[in-house]
Amino acid sequence: MARYSNKINKIRTFALSLIFIGFIIMYIGIFFRTHPIVMTIFMILGLLAIIASTVVYFWIGMLSTKAVQVVCPNCGKPTKILGRVDMCMHCREPLTLDASLEGKEFDESYNRKK
Ligand SMILES: [Zn+2]
């Protein structure tokens, strides 16, 4: 995997993996059938991971409304930019909304500078 990717996609991948982790934790809980308390703890932890993922999905929805939709100059597809620099969802072309950063090498640290 590339070091940089589109932020919205990255968060979406994280939310998806949380669902899988949740189900894996609940599945492990089944092995502790004979210990109801341990099983319950695993079930609750698994449920919490799934709840967390829905929260993250909700957060993506909020971020998406704030992200700027642009047409990628490289592949011509619509994509969303979050922050000062971000990458195209389709072709990983670095994109910026800040004219002063245009032509400079892609660096995620630009997002942290004021
Ligand atoms: Zn593109």
* 7 CA to centre of ligand 1 in angstroms: 14
Rounded to whole angstroms, the Cα distance separating 54 from 47 reads 11
* 34 CA to centre of ligand 1 in angstroms: 53
Confirm if 77 and 86 have CB atoms less than 8 A apart: no
Provide the residue ranges of all domains of the chain, joining segments of one domain with +: 1-66, 68-114
* 62 CA to centre of ligand 1 in angstroms: 23
Q: Which residues contact 110 (CB under 8 A, 6 or more apart)?
A: 84, 85, 96, 98, 101
* 32 CA to centre of ligand 1 in angstroms: 48
pTM (2 d.p.): 0.73
> What is the per-residue pLDDT for 3?
58
Instruction: Give tens-digit pLDDT for 35-61.
Output: 999 999 999 999 999 999 999 999 999
* 67 CA to centre of ligand 1 in angstroms: 16
Instruction: Give tens-digit pLDDT for 58-70.
Output: 999 998 888 999 9
Q: For residue 94, list its beta bridge partners.
A: 87
CA-nearest of 9, 1, 2 to 79 is 9
Phi/psi of residue 78, nearest 5 degrees: -70, 140
Rounded to whole angstroms, the Cα distance separating 40 from 101 reads 52
Rounded to whole angstroms, the Cα distance separating 78 from 68 reads 10
* 56 CA to centre of ligand 1 in angstroms: 25
